[in-house]
A and B are shown apart, each in its own frame.
Chain A
């Protein structure tokens, strides 16, 4: 089984809808991250969390919110989706002091 899972893998939604992307990990890592990737570009950090009580904004947090429900779960919400949030979204985890981030398979989101 994959160490970092994301659900759903693909999602189509309409402008103005609220949606949630979920991430779960079995690696026992404390740190979790959400990135987005636009076509032909690298990843940009949306939010990150170093433990259950710690939430931090990344480079592009506007229009997004997150929830760290448990050490193993980190959800990303789009409160009111807009077309320019169409992208590939990745969750990642890392252990404290380990530095290497391990990525989930990604969620392809299309906002119509």
Chain B
């Protein structure tokens, strides 16, 4: 079974500050995927990024970037120059074989103007 730890329950920042969300996972799968989802106050779940376990290259997509370290089982997510619209709960979720996702408890991000 997989396990996900998002140690930060809530982060509060002022607009334009960077925000880094931590995620540590446990898995026995040798090949897996890692996801970040966003849940804004309206409640829907929005897919943000996906990373394959066999590709540790870190990337940037717009204001989002991520740092995947397989050796430490961490998959951290950064929002650069945060905006009020980034206020949401963010979930880290590793995917086992067959797409079954295990969600962390989420980190609530509050971006103040």
Contact = CB atoms under 8 A, between A and B. Distances in A.
Interface of A: 31, 33, 40-45, 48, 50, 58, 88, 90, 92, 94, 99-103, 105-106, 108
> Interface SS of chain A: helix, strand, loop or mixed?
strand
A43 B105 contact: no
Interface stretch (B13-21, B41-49, B55-63, B70-78): B41-49
A31 B99 contact: yes
Interface of B: 4, 33, 35, 37, 43-45, 47, 50, 91, 93, 95, 98-101, 103-106
Contact of B98 (A44, A50, A105): A50
A102 B91 contact: no
Instruction: Give the interface centre of A40, A92, A99, A102 by most chain B CB atoms within 10 Å.
Output: A99
A19 B44 CA distance: 22
A42 B47 contact: no
A44 B50 CA distance: 19
